[in-house]
Amino acid sequence: MLVDSHCHLDFPELAGRIDELLAAMAEHDVGHALCVCVALPEFEQVLALAQRDERLSASVGVHPDYPDTVEPDVDTLVRLAAHPKVVAIGETGLEYYSTPGGADWQRERFRVHIRAARRAGKPLIVHTRAAAADTLQLLRDEGAEAVGGVMHCFTEDWETARAALDLGFHVSFSGIVTFRNAAALREVAAKVPDDRLLIETDAPYLAPVPNRGKTNEPAFVRFVAACLAELRGQAPEQIAKLTTDNFFRLFNP
């Protein structure tokens, strides 16, 4: 069995196709998918998805790429995270690619999420892009090690992965690892320890080869798993087992 540790089934590209997506998951032995929240106004829809099928769970959080949305506070996040279907806080983090140098509101929002995760006792889903040093610094400052979590859709270097692993975090790879120009990322993926490795789609985006350019969906996580099996020299069944075990141990859905 495989698990998609990060997808956005509430996004318009996918929201009208849930039965079809669940059927494709069943067909390809994808037994669970974590529906990740990116803004509070969308949380209800994400939670409703998770409540609709036992193979789905939810997170609560506000993505750093959403400047003009309802700003979360610790109490609100902790209250929403109390629902048994909510297994994580996020996605949160820092996005300096679309916001060069970042912004104070991004850093403050990230701190709020880490504090909420610690109070709720639930792991963090961290997005970091072009912001590795600040991301690691804030995780350390706020004691994120107490709850751990995942560096999702990882695209940074080994030094960053190593620092995240040292904080007790997991590292999750998306379809990007299958892209032709991702040789450096594949070297990082080969080195992540078995007990910290996760896989995801980040659907509807980033469909893996051979479906690159199409709308992504949880069943496509099998192509990420196959790529990791090959580059790590492990059997596909072994990648499936360890990434699934890691997911259930971390998120306990």
User: Which residue is at the shortest CB distance from Ni ion?
Assistant: 202
Please report how close the Cβ of residue 234 comes to Ni ion at its closest, in angstroms.
26
Nearer to Ni ion, 4 or 202 (CB): 202
Please report how close the Cβ of residue 214 comes to Ni ion at its closest, in angstroms.
17
Contact 149, 250 (CB under 8 A): yes
Nearer to Ni ion, 201 or 246 (CB): 201
DSSP labels for 62-121?
--TT-SSSPPP-HHHHHHHHTSTTEEEEEEEEEE-SSSTT--HHHHHHHHHHHHHHHHHT
Q: Which stretch binds Ni ion (CB under 5 A): 111-119, 142-150, 201-209, 221-229?
A: 201-209
Q: Which stretch binds Ni ion (CB under 5 A): 92-100, 159-167, 194-202, 227-235?
A: 194-202
Q: Which stretch binds Ni ion (CB under 5 A): 129-137, 169-177, 183-191, 197-205?
A: 197-205
Nearer to Ni ion, 39 or 48 (CB): 39
Neighbour-count burial for 77-111, b at 16+ CB within 10 Å, e otherwise: bbebbeeebbbbbbbbbbbbeebeebeeebbebbb
Of 7-36, which residues contact Ni ion (CB under 5 A)? Answer: none
CB atoms within 10 A of CB 16: 8
Q: Which stretch binds Ni ion (CB under 5 A): 40-48, 67-75, 191-199, 202-210?
A: 202-210
Dihedral, 245, 241, 194, 226 alpha carbons, nearest 10: -130
Nearer to Ni ion, 142 or 202 (CB): 202
Report the interface residues with Ni ion, using CB under 5 A.
Answer: 202
